[in-house]
Amino acid sequence: MNHDFILGLLLGILAALMLNVGKGIQKMKVRVFLHGWKMFSRENRADLGTWLLGLSITAGAALPYSLGLMLSRSPSTISAMTGVGLIGLLVFAIKVIGEKIGALDGLGIVLVIVGTSVLAFLGAEKEHQVRQFLDRSLILMILAMVLVAASGCIIALRFRKIHGTTFGLSAGLCIGLAIFIADAGLVRSDGSFSGQLATPYPYVAIGFAVVATITTQIGFLHGRALEVVPSVNTAMILTPLLLEVVIYHEWPRPASCVLVAIIVVGVFLLSTGAAARVAA
C-alpha cells in the first residue's frame, strides 16, 4: 500500500473542501460590495470580514493542493477530488444556508464517493514511474489549450446561448492547468515543496488560478449557474488527465477511465443541484 499516495489524496480532499466551501462563504456575503465604500462601515464590516474569510479559505487551498501533488504524484487524481469538495459545499449549503437537496444530489454524492474511493484504492496500488517531459511540449500544449479557450470565449460573447458553458469550460481548463503546472514544478525540481518554489511553475499556476476566477465571474454575467458550474468542474477534472497522457505519456488504466467517468457524472449531478445555487 502506497501510504504517501493516501496522504496526498487526503490533502487533495482537504484542498477541494477548502476551495468549494470558501467559495460558498464568499457567495453568502458577496452582496456587501454593492454598498461601495460603505462596505467598510461598522454595519457592513462583519459581512466584509466573512467574505474575506471565505477568500482566505479558498486561497489557502493552494498549500494542501501542492502538498497533495507532491505526495500523490498524480494531478489527475487530485483534480478528481473536486467531487468530494462539492459534497462539502453541499453540506455547507444545507446546514448554513438552508438549501434543500433532491434525489439527483443524493445520487451525485453516491457516485462521487464510490468513484473516488475505488480510484484511491487503485492509485495506492499503482507503481509510479519516473515522469519526464520537455518544457517545449508543455508550453505548446498550454498555448494550444489557451488559444482554443480564448477563441471560444470570444465567440461566446456574441452568442449568449453558449456563454455560460464556454466560459465555465475555460475557467475549469485554467484550474486544471494550474494543478498540472504546479505538479510540473515538482517534476522539474527536486520533488520538494521548497524546490518547487524555486521554479517559475507555481507562479504561472497562480496566474491561471486568477484567470479562472475572473473567467468564472464573466460566465455568471450572462450564463446560468446550471451551465457554468458543471462546466467548470468537468473541465477541471479532465484537463490534468489529458495532459498526463500527452506530456507524461501515462495512459490511465481502463478501470481508472471508468471511475473518472463516474466521478464526472456525479460532479455534474451535484453541480446542477444545491451546490450550484450556492457556488453561483
* Residue-wise pLDDT tens digits, 12-65: 889 888 887 887 787 677 677 778 888 888 888 888 898 899 889 988 888 888
* Residue-wise pLDDT tens digits, 237-273: 888 888 888 887 777 778 878 887 887 887 777 666 6
Residue that has been written with the C-alpha cell 517559475 in this structure: 200
Long-range contacts of 217-221 (CB under 8 A, 24+ apart): 218/153, 218/167, 219/163, 219/164, 219/166, 219/167, 219/168, 219/170, 219/171, 220/164, 220/280, 221/163
d(CA 38, CA 94): 30
Residue 196's pLDDT is: 72
* Residue-wise pLDDT tens digits, 195-221: 677 788 889 999 998 898 888 778 867
Q: What is the pTM of this model?
A: 0.74
Domain ranges of the chain: 81-279
